[in-house]
Amino acid sequence: MISLTYGNDTHTCEPGESVLAVLLRSNVDVPYSCRAGACHSCLLRRSDGAVPASSQPGLKPTLREQNYFLACQLVPDEDISVSLPDDALVTGHAIVVGLEHLNKDICRVLLEPATPLYYHAGQYINLRRQDGLARSYSLASVPSVDKHLELHVRRLDNGRMSNWINDVLQVGDQLDFHGPYGDCFYLPDAEEQDLLLIGTGTGLAPLMGIARDALRSQHRGDIHLFHGSRTIRDLYLDRCLRELAEGHPNFHYRACVTGEDAVDEVRHGRANEIAFSEFPDLNAKRVYLCGLPAMVNTARKIAYLNGAAMENIMADAFEMTDLRKEERTERE
Amino acid sequence: MSESLFEKLGGAVAVDAAVDIFYRKVLSDDSINHFFDDTDLQAQRDKQKSFLTMAFGGPNAYEGKDLRSAHAPLVERGLNDNHFGAVAGHLKATLDELDVPSDLTDEVMGIAASTQDDVLNR
């Protein structure tokens, strides 16, 4: 007898029944629509093991990698635990073990999770203060290389969390988090493929994670990282990136500023525009875009028009709506 | 039984080959691209895929009333015969680019043309 666990309940699967059929028969309210593997409404995630590729038609590689599947397409042949994409992960606890101001507005936060966190560099976590205030931050660290979780927190005008992290947070403090989330990370499925990484502001955090993850995985294609800021003073980890480029012939770094003239190796212009003018044909490339939504959405369209396949465009837009609003749960 | 149009064109594989060529043409055309919300590129591309599947004579769940309700907001924003013609032109150019034989192209264009009144809500 095969059992299916969803939330706190366990259900018995009849022979030949899909996960969706079992849940619907048991009156579990899960989203679904076409029941034919096309609409992706019934997306679930297996939390206790791998799923067959036949249950993942049309899913992005990053979702496949995390054992997401379509409930209507999976007939379990062993006991299985599943959850909705959003409850897949529980609250984690972490201690602040490092704080470093990388420039006047950006703070590097190092966290030690209470239990080891399984994540991909470039995903993000929702960091939660003891009073419940929560914001999303991307992971710049690489699991197999870095001992701690690394976040880059840019101080925003009226940003309650970001100012608190920059001014008040101390080494030794405890923070809770949910995650990891996000499907913008390195995939070792095409090691010859050139990667184009484009980020603005702290969009550098996930891209540094992704670039270092690719290098650690001995990625053989070229990795081009374009980082955009307003001024040269807003750039950060510039030296660290130059050193990384010196140590790895296939890693290339370009800093771009919009608010100042070009100086030495810093280019003048928008990072996405400079990247696409250097690489007009994206047919065989994989493109990663992280940062402000305006840049990410524009660049995503241009990348597609310039030949990048839709599944080769990985994007993480740091959504921020009205900064004056009292309550805010968006990314900082 | 003779092969259907969809089979002659190569089925789902042909749709996959055509969808990016077609959607890139549409997105690059300033006379119509304001009708195509580009904030969710993936969802838009999926819609183009449904459209092509239908135009290629393939299995689909499209009905006249679906086409009407889906395009009604665009008609309110001024969608007209010129825009329809532009999209049809991109479809034709896509088929030409893929070297689809002219008799099959004619059939596809015929199916596309048959949707004009539903799309324009007439």
CATH assignment of A2-87, among 3.20.20.100, 1.10.630.10, 3.10.20.30, 3.40.605.10: 3.10.20.30
Q: Are A154 and A221 in contact (CB under 8 A)?
A: no
- Annotated domain spans of chain A: 2-87, 92-181, 195-317
Residue B74 has pLDDT above 50, yes or no: yes
CB atoms within 10 A of CB B87: 21
DSSP code of residue A243: H
Smallest CA-to-CA distance from B95 within B106, B86, B84 is with: B106
- As beta bridge partners, residue A138 has A124
Query: pLDDT (tens digit, 0 to 9) for every residue of chain A, 332 residues total?
Result: 899 999 889 999 999 999 999 999 999 988 777 677 766 778 899 989 999 999 998 777 778 888 999 999 999 999 999 988 764 445 789 999 999 999 999 999 999 999 888 899 999 888 988 887 888 899 999 999 999 999 999 999 889 999 999 999 999 999 998 778 788 999 999 999 999 999 999 999 999 999 999 999 999 999 999 999 999 999 999 999 999 999 999 999 999 999 999 988 999 999 999 999 999 999 999 999 999 989 999 999 999 999 999 999 999 888 764 333 444 444 44
The predicted pLDDT at position A1 comes to 87
Mean per-residue pLDDT, B10-31:
93
For tokens 């008040």, the residue is A168
Answer whether A2-87 and A195-317 agree in fold: no
pLDDT digits (tens, 9 = 90+) for B34-66: 888 666 788 888 888 888 999 999 887 666 668
- Which residues in chain B are closer than 8 Å to A297, comparing Cβ atoms? 38-39
Q: Closest to B27 (Cβ–Cβ): which among A297, A301, A309?
A: A301
ipTM: 0.86
Q: Are A323 and A332 in contact (CB under 8 A)?
A: no
For tokens 């895929």, the residue is B49
* φ and ψ at residue A45, rounded to 5 degrees: -130, 130
CB atoms within 10 A of CB A60: 17
CATH architecture under which domain A195-317 falls: 3-Layer(aba) Sandwich (3.40)
The predicted pLDDT at position A329 comes to 45
Q: Cα separation of A97 and A100, whole Å?
A: 10
For testing the chain B interface, which of A41, A310, A313, A314 should be mutated: the one with the most B CBs within 10 Å? A310
Crossing angle of helices B102-113 and B41-55, in 10° steps, is 110
For tokens 């969608």, the residue is B79
Q: Which residue of A has its CA nearest to B17?
A: A309
Which residues lie below 8 Å from residue A73, measured CB to CB, with a gap of 6+?
A: A18, A37, A54, A55, A56, A57
Q: What are A93's two structure tokens?
A: 């606890």
Smallest CA-to-CA distance from A175 within A120, A142, A133, A145 is with: A133
Tell how far CA A224 is from the center of its chain.
18
Q: Closest to B42 (Cβ–Cβ): which among A297, A305, A310?
A: A310
For testing the chain B interface, which of A305, A306, A311, A312 should be mutated: the one with the most B CBs within 10 Å? A305
Which residues lie below 8 Å from residue B101, measured CB to CB, with a gap of 6+?
A: none
Cβ separation A305–B42 shorter than 8 A: no
CATH superfamily of A92-181: Translation factors (2.40.30.10)
Residue A137 gets the label, from left (phi > 0), alpha (psi -120 to 50) or beta, of: beta
What is the distance in angstroms between the Cα of A154 and the nearest Cα belonging to chain B?
25
Which residues lie below 8 Å from residue B116, measured CB to CB, with a gap of 6+?
A: B81, B84
Cα dist from A81 to A9, A46, A62, A168, A266, whole Å: 10, 6, 20, 41, 50
The predicted pLDDT at position A32 comes to 76
* φ and ψ at residue B22, rounded to 5 degrees: -65, -50
Q: Is B42 on the interface with A (CB under 8 A)?
A: yes
Q: What are B15's two structure tokens?
A: 């749709």
The predicted pLDDT at position A320 comes to 64
> Strand pairing of A149-154 and A106-113?
antiparallel
What is the distance in angstroms between the Cα of A193 and the nearest Cα belonging to chain B?
20
Q: Which residue of B has its CA nearest to A305?
A: B24
- As beta bridge partners, residue A112 has A95
The type of residue at A153 is V
**CATH fold label, B5-119:** Globin-like (1.10.490)
**Using CB atoms and an 8 Å cut-off, which of residues 16-35 of chain A contact chain B?**
none
Peptide bond into B59 cis (omega under 30): no
CB atoms within 10 A of CB A253: 22
Strands (E), A53-148: 68-70, 80-83, 92-101, 106-113, 124-128, 134-138
Residue A139, judged by CB atoms within 10 A of its CB (0-12, 13-18, 19+), counts as buried
